[in-house]
């Protein structure tokens, strides 16, 4: 997947809306499909997007016993998607199994999909961590610990906030990927609280940015995409100078 382009989160409920959106673009895109769309449209949608030249981050966040995740990942890797993910909460053995499954499912000569882990969901509050998960550690400690397990399982990186990316890179190394949603051109637009601009995200060392509503809900989605891409690339170029 070409890291110089943002990944567009295709969070559409209707296929017609999705097609109307995609038909406006004449270039190959990086796109993210979540479970809503995948469970409705399945492998057909993956194939259709690939036939249009788009690279896919299949955001299904697997979490089950290691054996089940291994074979599920093998099947998903066979579909030729570029990026897949699991919940780090499934444990190190499950993440290792996911990686083995992906390796088995990747065709001869094909590029292995990037495999990421989600640490703590951004929807989980510190109260839930304590009262529901019975975790006494702080949110930051828990996120750090789960990122460490991810690295030990030899996954490629984590999904995290653009504001956490720098610290994660410092702790886990430059090669450990950070894929970051919560990207906004201006602050305070919607429910995302801890946001960064594409430019700031690049300077923070994020490897990929995931952008949904600022593009999908824009009056002119192509113009919004180009503006976000330009900001991202400006930051990447500046980062490369240091």
Q: Which residues are annotated as a binding site?
A: 11, 32, 59-68, 122, 184, 192, 212-213
Active site residue 193: no
**Piece of 66-74, 128-136, 149-157, 210-218 that binds ligand C5P (CB under 6 A):** 210-218
Residue 34 as a binder of ligand C5P (CB under 6 A): the answer is: yes
Active site residue 59: yes
- If the CB atoms of residues 34 and 66 are measured against ligand C5P, the closer one turns out to be 34
Residue 211 as a binder of ligand C5P (CB under 6 A): the answer is: yes
| Position among 213, 222, 234, 239 found at the interface with ligand C5P (CB under 6 A) | 213
**Of 5, 61, 70, 229, which is the active-site residue?**
61
Longest dimension (CA), the chain: 50
How many residues bind ligand C5P, per CB under 6 A? 13
Give the shortest CB-94-to-ligand C5P separation in angstroms. Answer: 19
Give the shortest CB-121-to-ligand C5P separation in angstroms. Answer: 6
Q: Which parts of 145-184 interact with ligand C5P (CB under 6 A)?
A: 159, 181-182
Distances (CA, A) of 80 to 13, 56, 112: 24, 9, 8
Handedness of CA 144, 213, 33, 177 (dihedral sign): negative
Residue 212 as a binder of ligand C5P (CB under 6 A): the answer is: yes
Which residues, at least 6 apart from 12, have a Cβ–Cβ distance to it below 8 Å? Answer: 18, 21, 37, 216
| Position among 100, 106, 122, 239 found at the interface with ligand C5P (CB under 6 A) | 122
Cα pseudo-dihedral 194, 1, 12, 59, rounded to 10: -70
> Which residues sit opposite 117 in a β-bridge?
86, 158
Only one residue has tokens 């567009």, namely 8
Q: How far apart are the first and last CA of the chain?
A: 24
Give the shortest CB-109-to-ligand C5P separation in angstroms. Answer: 31
**Of 64, 74, 130, 234, which is the active-site residue?**
64
What stretches of 7-162 show up as alpha helix (H) in DSSP?
15-22, 35-51, 66-78, 92-105, 126-131, 139-152
Q: Which residues are catalytic?
A: 59, 61, 64
């Amino acid at each position: 997947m070409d890291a110089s382009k943002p990944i567009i989160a295709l969070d559409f409920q209707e296929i017609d809306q999705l097609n109307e959106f995609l038909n406006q673009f004449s270039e190959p895109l990086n796109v993210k499909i979540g479970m809503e769309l995948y469970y409705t449209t399945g492998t057909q949608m993956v194939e259709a997007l690939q036939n249009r030249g788009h690279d896919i981050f299949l955001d299904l966040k697997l979490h089950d016993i290691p054996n089940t995740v291994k074979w599920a990942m093998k099947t998903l890797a066979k579909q030729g998607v570029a990026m897949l993910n699991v919940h780090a909460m499934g444990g190190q053995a499950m993440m290792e199994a996911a990686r083995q499954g992906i390796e088995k499912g990747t065709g001869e000569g094909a590029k292995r999909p990037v495999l990421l882990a989600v640490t703590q969901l951004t929807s989980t509050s510190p109260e839930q961590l304590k009262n529901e998960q019975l975790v006494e550690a702080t949110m930051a400690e828990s996120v750090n610990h789960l990122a460490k397990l991810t690295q030990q399982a030899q996954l490629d990186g984590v999904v995290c906030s653009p504001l956490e990316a720098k610290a994660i890179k410092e702790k886990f190394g430059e090669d450990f990927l950070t894929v970051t949603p919560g990207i906004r051109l201006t602050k305070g637009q919607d429910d995302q609280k801890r946001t960064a601009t594409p430019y700031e995200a690049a300077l923070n060392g994020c490897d990929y940015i995931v952008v949904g509503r600022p593009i999908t809900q824009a009056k002119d989605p192509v113009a919004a995409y180009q503006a976000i891409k330009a900001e991202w690339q400006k930051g990447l170029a500046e980062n490369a100078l240091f």
